[in-house]
Amino acid sequence: MSDEQKILIVGAGPAGTRAAELLSGRGLRPIVVDEAPASGGQIYRRQPPGFLRAARLRYCFEAAKAEALHACFDGLTERIDYRPDTSVWSIEDNVAFTLGPGGVERIPFEALILCTGAVDRVIPIPGWTLPGVFTMGGAQIALKAQGCAVGRRVAFLGSGPLLYLVAYQYARAGASVAAVLDTARLGDALPVLPGLFAGGSLLAKGLWYQNWLRLKGVRLRRGVLPVAIAGEERVSGLRYRSGNGRERRIECDAVAFGWGVKSECQLAELAGCEMRFDGAARQWLPVSDDDGRAGVAGVYLAGDGAGVMGADAAEYRGELAALALLSERGAAVDDRRRRYLKARLGRLTRFRIAIDRALPYPDGLAAAQPDDTIVCRCEGVTAGDIRHGQSLEPAEINRAKAYTRLGMGRCQGRMCGLAAAEILAHHNGVGLAEIGRLRGQAPVKPLHIGIAGQAARDDPDRAASI
């Protein structure tokens, strides 16, 4: 295949794996670039070679799916151009710029399937920058991949599907679970029970984890309002208000917190995808149709990076995007398979909507944080800076960025951007969409000048002089 016909898949999680499987099965040889040393994505992240924790401990009910996906990918390596430990940090003019063990490389492509996944959604609360505080996903990765707990006595705070699962995994691994504090109330789940049943076993699993924890005597609380993570040098406790409004404190040496995940879409933005505010997701998302076509020639989106729907959906969406790509090239595709995948996806979509209502993101929690709460941890910008920084009307997040340095640090707003937008929107009495978004720019992640400079293509005379 010549350069001009290359297919590039970014990400080797559930979506990227299924896309690669389909395309390689049709005699194409996609390039698969993945940041991790092994395939699986975050959800099915593998342990390093030589680590021997059983799959059922690492992936629980999902162990069989994880192992199937890993086996699928491992079976492809002869038929794909696989580049692990490699990240894509820019895309322009149908070229992806990567950073991997060999330095910076350019990958020209004709078609691109972005399977960039998702990252924890955090709400900055007082004390969240203390050592010992981890995002929920980070805490799970530590255990899943490295066999490490983030603390001896860990409190779990947030809402979303990971909350009880990770607490369960920690307890099973021998860590002491100080408490599981759910900001969702039981009442949130009742009106959407029919939708939850659309997820079938997913609902049962969630209840099973809760029951297991309860039977082990773990403190489970719903409808809590976090007040602060306490500690001087590192975490020593967590203060919260219980459903009846009384303030409580639990002792712990680590906190895992998070409210679901948000799509990682910087590369889609750099690839030219139209970005649109999604009210349910509370973030700007790249636009794509339900086959994954992004509206930019040759660009397809799949998996949680195109809107969070979970790992099962990501497998379907990866395959659908590959099917769309094939049919765009005039290849015959199995229409029945496509309809089947879409039907499965539809069912998961209904479940997703119900999940989001049953385990709601706590509207107003970010906006309610006191002025001295650090929001942008890279630059030490507080909620008060965002609210009261000298600015020009109307409020807009890039303007707040200019005045406060919010989002100007190493993470470029990936961690704090959404919470900052909520604080700004609430303070100014406008909707989130009106606040705008922190625009993605290259490099998507920090890039070493010395290494990247070696890839410059100046003619030798020019390169040698200044």
Partner 1 sequence: MSRIESEIAVIDTEIAVIGGGIAGLSTALHVALRGVPVVVLESRQAGAAASGVNFGGVRRNGRALAELELAARAIEIWHRLPELVGNDCEYSVTGHLKVARNDDDMATMAAHAEAQAPYGCAVEMISRNALMARYPWFSDAAYGAAWCASDGQANPRLLGPAFARAARANGADIREHEPVAALEKDGDGFLLRCDSGLEVRARQVVNAAGAWGARVAGWLGEAVELWPMMPQMVVTEPAPYFIEPALGVVGGDVYVRQIPRGNIIFGGRSGTADLDEGFGHAMTEEALGALQRTALVIPRMAEMNIIRLWSGVEGCTPDQLPVLGPSATTPGVIHAFGFSGHGFCLGPGVGAVVAELALDGETRTAIDAFDIRRFQS
Instruction: Give whichever of 332 and 392 is closer to partner 1, judged by the CB atom.
Output: 392
- Which one, 365 or 447, has the nearer CB to partner 1? 447
Nearer to partner 1, 146 or 441 (CB): 441
Q: Does 392 bind partner 1 (CB under 8 A)?
A: yes
Q: Does 388 bind partner 1 (CB under 8 A)?
A: no
> Least distance to partner 1 from the beta carbon of 452, Å?
5
Pick 186 or 455: Cβ nearer partner 1: 455
**Sole window of 199-207, 342-350, 364-372, 448-456 interacting with partner 1 (rule: CB under 8 A):** 448-456
Binding partner 1 by CB under 8 A: which of 396, 397, 414, 437? 396
202: contact with partner 1 by CB under 8 A:
no
The count of other CB atoms within 10 Å of the CB of residue 185 is 15
Position 442 contacts partner 1 (CB under 8 A)? yes
Map tokens 């939708």 to a residue: 195
Residue of 159, 15, 10 lying closest to 84 (CA atoms) = 10
Site string for partner 1, 398-437 (x = CB under 8 A): xx-xxx-x--xxx-x-------------------------
Cβ proximity to partner 1: between 61 and 277 the closer is: 277
Question: How big is the site for partner 1, counted in residues (CB under 8 A)?
Answer: 40
The piece of 128-136, 162-170, 323-331, 393-401 that touches partner 1 (CB under 8 A) is 393-401
Least distance to partner 1 from the beta carbon of 456, Å? 4
282: left (phi over 0), alpha (psi -120 to 50) or beta: left
Give, in order, the Cα–Cα distances in Å from 119 to each of 20, 103, 412: 22, 25, 14
Binding string, 76-105, against partner 1, x = CB under 8 A? --------------x-xx-x-x------x-
Of 41-49, 59-67, 125-133, 395-403, which part binds partner 1 (CB under 8 A)? 395-403
Residues 32-71: x/- map of binding to partner 1 (CB under 8 A)? ----------------------------------------
Neighbouring C-beta atoms of residue 370, cutoff 10 Å = 12
Q: How far apart are CA 398 and CA 394, in angstroms?
A: 11
C-alpha–C-alpha distance, residues 51 and 112, integer Å: 34
Sort strands 111-114 and 118-120 into parallel, antiparallel or unpaired: unpaired
If one asks whether residue 249 binds partner 1 (CB under 8 A), the answer comes out as: no
Binding region for partner 1 (CB under 8 A) out of 139-147, 177-185, 248-256, 438-446: 438-446
Please report how close the Cβ of residue 427 comes to partner 1 at its closest, in angstroms: 17
* Residue 371 exposed, middle or buried by CB count within 10 Å (0-12, 13-18, 19+): exposed
Nearest approach in angstroms of CB 110 to partner 1 is 18
Least distance in angstroms from the C-beta of 349 to partner 1:
34
Per-residue binder mask for partner 1 (CB under 8 A), 337-376, x = binder: ----------------------------------------
Find out whether 155 and 171 touch, Cβ atoms under 8 Å.
no
Per CB under 8 A, the list member of 50, 245, 390, 461 interacting with partner 1 is 390
Is residue 129 involved in binding partner 1 (CB under 8 A)? Answer: no
Name which of 242 and 391 has its Cβ closer to partner 1.
Answer: 391
Please answer whether residues 151 and 141 qualify as being in contact, where contact means their C-beta atoms are separated by less than 8 angstroms.
no
> Computed over its alpha carbons, how large is the radius of gyration of the chain?
22
Strand 235-241 and strand 247-251: the pairing is antiparallel
- Tokens 């395959």 belong to which residue? 319
Written as six digits, the tokens of 172 are 């099973």
Query: What are the C-alpha distances in Å from 45 to residues 313, 404, 464?
Result: 17, 36, 43
Considering the rule CB under 8 A, would residue 463 count as an interface residue with partner 1?
Answer: yes
454 lies in the site for partner 1, by CB under 8 A: yes
Given 54, 101, 457, 461, the residue binding partner 1 (CB under 8 A): 457
Calpha distance 8→446 (Å, rounded): 22
**Smallest gap from residue 297 Cβ to partner 1 (A):** 17
Determine the distance from the C-alpha atom of residue 392 to the mean position of all C-alpha atoms in its chain, rounded to a whole number.
33
447 counts as binding partner 1 under rule CB under 8 A: yes
Asked whether 147 and 47 are in contact (CB, 8 A), the reply is yes
Say how far apart CA 33 and CA 227 lie, in whole Å: 41
Q: Which long-range contacts (CB under 8 A, 24 or more apart) does 172-178 make?
A: 172/57, 173/57, 173/143, 173/147, 173/149, 174/149, 175/149, 175/151, 176/152, 177/153, 177/213, 177/218, 178/153, 178/154, 178/219, 178/238, 178/250, 178/251, 178/252
Catalog residues that contact partner 1 under the rule CB under 8 A: 90, 92-93, 95, 97, 104, 390-393, 396, 398-399, 401-403, 405, 408-410, 412, 441-443, 446-450, 452-458, 462-463, 465-466
